[in-house]
Amino acid sequence: MDPARQERIARELRELADKNYRAIYHLIHSYIGGDPDEAEDLTLQTFENAFASYHRFRGEADVRTWVFRIAINVCKNRIRQKQTRRRFEALSLDATFGGDSEDDTSAMDVPDVSQSPTRIAEGRELREILRAGIRKLPADYREVLLLKLQDFSYKEIADMLDCTVETVKSRLFRSRVALKQLVGGYVDEAD
């Protein structure tokens, strides 16, 4: 690869890291189930992987799209590692599950002080219900939904997931239907 192109891609990656670190963190945080420390580790790993392999970037997609694809792959790999580890480890009866402790907070849980404490609590509860529902979605549906929530276009998502735009639209529709089925009872009760 020509040195000028390498420097351009490296500069784009540095700018991308500066501008999109939080967005990639939130994508990973939602994808893996809400452990802030693990999301931070995986976000750093995403950028490390991107910097280490930028020389293989072919330029067929936008650099931002390429890095978000790396983030998804990092998440998939971590989930596979956890599943493999669980097969070989004995389950502790004292273990907590899924990072659902009351101390688990995220950057997205910044309360609006103009709201009443009751509305703030209801909002937190609804966010947790939605997060739990998203975690239960099949991986294909979860990926598309989380990327769309990051405001990527159908084409960008298709590029990241190496599928067609029609597949993205279909998975997004199905993910929304599945999520509504998973959390519909909770949401309807809140109205």
Residue with the larger pLDDT of the pair 36 and 2: 36
Look at residue 54 in the predicted model and tell me its pLDDT. Answer: 77
64 and 124, same domain (yes or no):
no
Residue 108 DSSP one-character state? T
Residue 191 structure tokens = 């109205």
Burial 165-186 (b: 16+ CB within 10 A, else e): eebbeebbebbeebbeebbeee
Confidence of residue 167 (pLDDT cuts 50, 70, 90): very high
We report the CATH number of the domain holding residue 76 as 1.10.1740.10
Evaluate whether residue 105 is within a structural domain.
no
Domain total of the chain: 2
Tell whether pTM > 0.85: no
Same structural domain, 84 and 120: no
CATH number of the structural domain spanning residue 132? 1.10.10.10
> Residue 94's pLDDT is what?
44
Angle at 137 between CA 111 and CA 98, to 5 degrees: 60
- State the average pLDDT over residues 148-174: 89
Which has more pLDDT, 117 or 146? 146
Q: In a 3-state reduction of DSSP, which class is residue 164?
A: coil
**85 and 138 together in one domain:** no
Give the closest residue to 9 by CA, choosing from 55, 42, 40. 55
Top-ranked range on mean pLDDT: pick from 56-70, 75-89, 106-120, 134-148: 134-148
Residue the block writes with tokens 């993205």: 168
| pLDDT (tens digit per residue) in 87-113 | 655 444 444 444 444 444 444 454 445
Instruction: Tell me if 63 is assigned to some domain.
Output: yes
171 within a domain of the structure (yes/no): yes
Helical segments of the chain, H only: 3-32, 36-53, 63-88, 117-136, 139-149, 154-161, 165-190
Q: Are residues 12 and 78 in the same domain?
A: yes
Q: Is residue 167 part of a domain?
A: yes
pLDDT at 97: 43
- Say if 95 falls within a structural domain: no
- What range defines the domain where residue 138 resides? 112-191
Domain end: 60, 90, 120, which one? 90
Over range 155-184, report the average pLDDT: 89
Q: Is pLDDT at 68 greater than 80 in this prediction?
A: yes
Res 42: pLDDT: 92
Asked if residue 29 and residue 84 are part of one domain, the reply reads yes
Confirm whether 134 is domain-assigned. Answer: yes
Same domain, residue pair 3 and 82: yes
